[in-house]
Amino acid sequence: MDLAAIPVLSLDANKDELPALIGSSFRTFGFAMIRDHGIDQDLIDRAWALTRQFFAMPVETKMKYFNPGQGGARGYTPFRTEVAKGATEKDLKEFWHVGRDLPPGSPLAATMPPNVWPKEIEGFRETFSELYAQFDEVGAKILSAIAIDLGLDAHWFDPAIEDGNSVMRLLHYPPVGEGAGGAIRAGAHEDINLITLLLGAEEAGLELLGKDGTWLSIAPPEGAMVINIGDMLQRLTNHLLPSTTHRVRNPSGDRAAHSRYSMPFFLHLRSDFRFVTLPECISADNPDRYPVSITADDYLQERLREIGLKA
Ligand SMILES: O=C(O)CCC(=O)C(=O)O
Ligand SMILES: [Fe+2]
- The residue whose CA has the least distance to atom 1 of ligand 1 is 262
Are 22 and 9 a contacting pair, CB within 8 Å? yes
> How sure is the predictor about 47, in pLDDT bands with cuts at 50, 70 and 90?
very high
Asked if residue 270 belongs to a domain, the reply is yes
Protein residues with CB under 6 Å of any ligand 1 atom: 169, 171, 186, 191, 198, 201, 206, 246, 248, 262, 264
- Report how far ligand 1's centroid is from the alpha carbon of 43 (Å): 21
Prediction pTM value: 0.96
Q: Whose CA is nearest to atom 9 of ligand 1?
A: 264
Q: Which backbone phi and psi does 141 adopt, to 5 degrees?
A: -65, -45
Residues 6+ apart with CB under 8 A from 78: 59, 62, 63, 66, 94
* Distance from Cα 208 to the centre of ligand 2, integer Å: 10
| Ligand 1 mutation pick, 198, 261, 268, 307, max ligand atoms within 8 A of CB | 198
Rounded to two decimals, the ipTM of the complex is 0.99
Residue 156 domain-assigned?
A: yes
N-term to C-term CA, the chain = 43
- Nearest-angstrom CA–CA distance, 252 and 206: 13
pLDDT tens for residues 242-262? 999 999 999 988 999 999 999
Residue 288 forms part of a structural domain: yes
User: What b/e string do you get for 137-156 counting C-beta neighbours within 10 Å, with b at 16 or more?
Assistant: ebbbbbbbbbbbbbebeeeb
| Residue 22 resides in a domain | yes
For 185-241, the pLDDT digits (tens) are 999 999 999 999 999 999 999 999 999 999 999 999 999 999 999 999 999 999 999
In a domain, 106, yes or no: yes
- Which of 202, 248, 303 has most ligand 1 atoms within 8 Å of its beta carbon, as the pocket-test mutant? 248
Average pLDDT value over all residues in the chain: 94
Q: Which residues contact 284 (CB under 8 A, 6 or more apart)?
A: none
Length of the chain: 311
Task: For residue 17, give its domain range.
Answer: 2-306
Structure confidence at residue 4 as a pLDDT band (50, 70, 90): low
Query: Which atom of ligand 1 has the smallest separation from the CA of 95?
Result: 9
Residue 250 maps to a domain: yes
Is residue 260 assigned to a domain? Answer: yes
Q: Strand 246-248 to strand 260-267: parallel, antiparallel, or no bridges (unpaired)?
A: unpaired
Which CATH number belongs to the domain containing residue 160 in this structure? 2.60.120.330
Residue whose CA is at the smallest distance from ligand 1 atom 5: 264
- Determine whether 2 is exposed, middle or buried from the number of CB atoms within 10 Å of its CB (0-12, 13-18, 19+): exposed
What value does the mean pLDDT take over residues 157-186?
A: 92
pLDDT band at 1 (very low <50, low <70, confident <90, very high): very low
Q: Is 311 within a domain? A: no
Q: What is the pLDDT of residue 229?
A: 98
Partnered with residue 95 across adjacent β-strands are 77, 171
The count of structural domains within the chain is 1
Distance from chain centroid for Cα 72: 14
Which residue in 35, 40, 41, 4 sits closest to 22, CA to CA? 35
